[in-house]
Amino acid sequence: MQTRIFPGRFENLEEISHFVIQAAEKAGLDDSAVYAVELAVDEAATNIIEHAYQGEGLGEICCSFEIIQEGLKVMLQDWGVPFNPLEVPEPILGAPLDEIQSSGLGLFFIRKLMDEVRFEFSIEKGNTVTMIKRKKQS
């Protein structure tokens, strides 16, 4: 497993993206899967800055990846406000744009982009989101 720690600032999102893109390519994911990993991780890291830390520069984002037999496992960890995904309402899709709540869309996209998404919280480890993207079967 490889790990890097990034200051929780929007200017670091590009660096986090480069880190996971390289991991996805090493894992042998195709271009569309690499892009899905990049988008999901970017959204998750943005949520950490905005919601867990409630602003820039108030904590770190620990980003780890592991190349697994079926593809790539990425973990993001923070020590901000505890996150319970069950408290996030499902977005109402198909509603007029001016009626769609932005809350919950990011989580919805993360779950659609990745094959598996798990959230954990503990006092010692903080918030951890684990995301798995599998290689397409040929």
Furthest CA-CA distance within the chain:
44
In this prediction the pTM is: 0.88
| Tens-digit pLDDT string for the chain (138 aa) | 899 999 999 999 999 999 999 999 999 999 999 999 999 999 999 999 999 999 999 999 999 999 999 999 999 999 999 887 777 667 666 666 666 555 667 888 999 999 999 999 988 889 999 999 999 876
Domain 2-134: CATH superfamily is Histidine kinase-like ATPase, C-terminal domain (3.30.565.10)
Any idea what DSSP says for residue 90?
Answer: P
Q: Nearest Cα to 74, choosing from 113, 28, 32, 129? A: 129
The residues, ordered by sequence, that sit 6+ positions from 112 with a Cβ below 8 Å of its Cβ are none
Whole-angstrom distance, CA of residue 98 vs CA of residue 79: 34
Residue 70 buriedness (CB in 10 A; 0-12 / 13-18 / 19+): middle
Q: Which amino acid is at 48?
A: I
- The pLDDT value recorded for residue 84 is 76
